[in-house]
């Protein structure tokens, strides 16, 4: 980080609670250019955290909406060439306006089109946060990785080093999602976030919803007297809050994946309103 501080300073349940309360008070407008499969999920999770979702992906207005938003989330899950045009315009306009931008490079490495589309975005837009699964992050860092469709295949070992390398190269905080999430700081260092539940992977859209959570909470980064100062601090808070909601949903013991998905949405709303008073200091640790 530019001021030499540690993103983990004072990172505890009390600070997380203040962060989530600040989201509700600010009601950040989070503009999504996202995939067709999970539009409803990403809109609703943004709303449940206390943000205001908007999905204006038409090329004629994507840039204008981005310039007036508090955060922009770009997800390449079903991106056609015209979609990528709109994403580039939105990202560039957000950069000009000082609006934080999150990239979710869904399925990076699965096809040449996805590789070219994400490469074009990285060339044109300065991202504050890049979030992906192990295969996507390792592929973006130039390593061998296997992605089938939009899913990572193979071991997650080495993902922390890949996340650190990608963060240093792009200047973005990098979030690698997995059994244990990794958050890498562009100024060096990475952190493991051992929060969450295995059932979070039992329904489609959980990764996209994490990107929306990163955008909603990341909208606070850099605000005067706010609870999070940088993109890395916001990413740690968002990833932790998301995992805690997953744990809370599992406590209800829903019968199957569809009922767990509903319980998870309810848990996001209840976590935003009443964060659990748990010791998270030993579950978010430097690597």
Domain for residue 118, yes or no? yes
Q: What is the pLDDT of residue 15?
A: 86
Fill in the DSSP letter of residue 197.
-
Domain for residue 7, yes or no? no
Q: Reduced to 3 states, what is the DSSP secondary structure of residue 210?
A: helix
Domain for residue 20, yes or no? yes
Residue 168 phi, psi dihedral angles, 5° rounding: -65, -35
Do 114 and 90 meet the contact criterion of CB atoms below 8 Å apart?
Answer: no
Domain for residue 6, yes or no? no
DSSP E strands in 154-238: the ranges are: 173-177, 181-184, 190-193
* 55 is an annotated ligand-binding site residue: yes
Domain for residue 8, yes or no? no
Domain for residue 49, yes or no? yes
Q: What is the pLDDT of residue 48?
A: 98
- Cα distance between residue 95 and residue 69, in whole Å: 11
Q: What is the pLDDT of residue 110?
A: 86
* 205 is an annotated ligand-binding site residue: yes
- Cα distance between residue 46 and residue 54, in whole Å: 9
* DSSP β-bridge partners for residue 102: 73, 129
Q: What is the pLDDT of residue 8?
A: 67
- Cα distance between residue 154 and residue 144, in whole Å: 11
- Cα distance between residue 163 and residue 58, in whole Å: 32
Residue 256 sits in a domain of what CATH number? 3.40.1190.20
Q: Give this prediction's pTM.
A: 0.92
Domain for residue 124, yes or no? yes
Domain residues for the domain of 74 are 13-286
Q: Which residue, 211, 242, 218, 244, is CA-closest to 232?
A: 218
pLDDT per residue rounded down to tens, the chain (287 residues): 334 467 666 567 888 999 999 999 999 999 999 999 999 999 999 999 999 999 999 999 999 999 999 999 999 999 899 999 999 999 999 999 999 999 999 989 889 999 999 999 999 999 999 999 999 999 999 886 555 444 444 555 689 999 999 999 999 999 999 999 999 999 999 999 999 999 999 999 999 999 999 999 999 998 777 889 999 999 999 999 999 999 999 999 999 999 999 999 999 999 999 988 777 878 899 98
Q: Reduced to 3 states, what is the DSSP secondary structure of residue 129?
A: strand
Domain for residue 142, yes or no? yes
Q: What is the pLDDT of residue 276?
A: 81
* DSSP β-bridge partners for residue 146: 153
DSSP string, 237-248: HHHHHHHHHHHH
CB < 8 Å & 24+ apart, contacts of 134-138: 134/159, 134/176, 134/177, 134/178, 135/108, 135/109, 136/105, 136/106, 136/107, 136/108, 136/109, 137/162, 137/163, 137/166, 137/174, 137/176, 138/162
Domain count, the chain: 1
- Cα distance between residue 162 and residue 184, in whole Å: 9
């Amino acid at each position: 980080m530019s001021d030499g501080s540690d993103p983990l300073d004072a990172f505890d349940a009390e600070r997380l609670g203040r962060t989530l309360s600040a989201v509700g008070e600010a009601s950040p407008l989070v503009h999504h250019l996202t995939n067709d499969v999970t539009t409803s999920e990403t809109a609703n999770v943004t709303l449940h955290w206390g943000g205001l979702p908007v999905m204006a992906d038409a090329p004629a207005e994507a840039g204008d909406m981005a310039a007036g938003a508090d955060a922009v989330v770009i997800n390449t899950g079903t991106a056609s060439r015209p979609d990528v045009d709109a994403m580039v315009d939105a990202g560039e306009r957000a950069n000009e306006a000082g609006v934080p931008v999150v990239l979710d490079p869904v399925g990076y490495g699965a096809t040449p089109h996805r590789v070219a589309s994400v490469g074009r975005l990285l060339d044109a837009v300065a991202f504050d946060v890049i979030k992906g699964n192990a295969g996507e992050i390792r592929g973006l860092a130039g390593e061998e990785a296997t992605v089938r469709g939009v899913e990572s295949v193979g071991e997650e070992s080495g993902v922390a080093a890949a996340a650190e390398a990608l963060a240093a190269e792009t200047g973005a905080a990098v979030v690698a999602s997995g059994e244990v999430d990794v958050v890498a700081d562009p100024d060096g260092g990475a952190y493991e976030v051992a929060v969450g539940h295995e059932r979070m992977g039992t329904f489609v859209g959980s990764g996209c919803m994490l990107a929306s959570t990163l955008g909603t909470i990341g909208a606070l980064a850099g605000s005067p007297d706010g609870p999070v100062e940088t993109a890395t601090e916001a990413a740690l808070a968002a990833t932790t809050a998301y995992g805690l909601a997953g744990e809370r949903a599992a406590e209800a013991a829903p019968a199957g994946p569809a009922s767990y998905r509903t319980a998870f949405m309810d848990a996001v709303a209840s976590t935003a309103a009443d964060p659990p008073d748990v010791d998270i200091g030993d579950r978010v640790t430097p690597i």
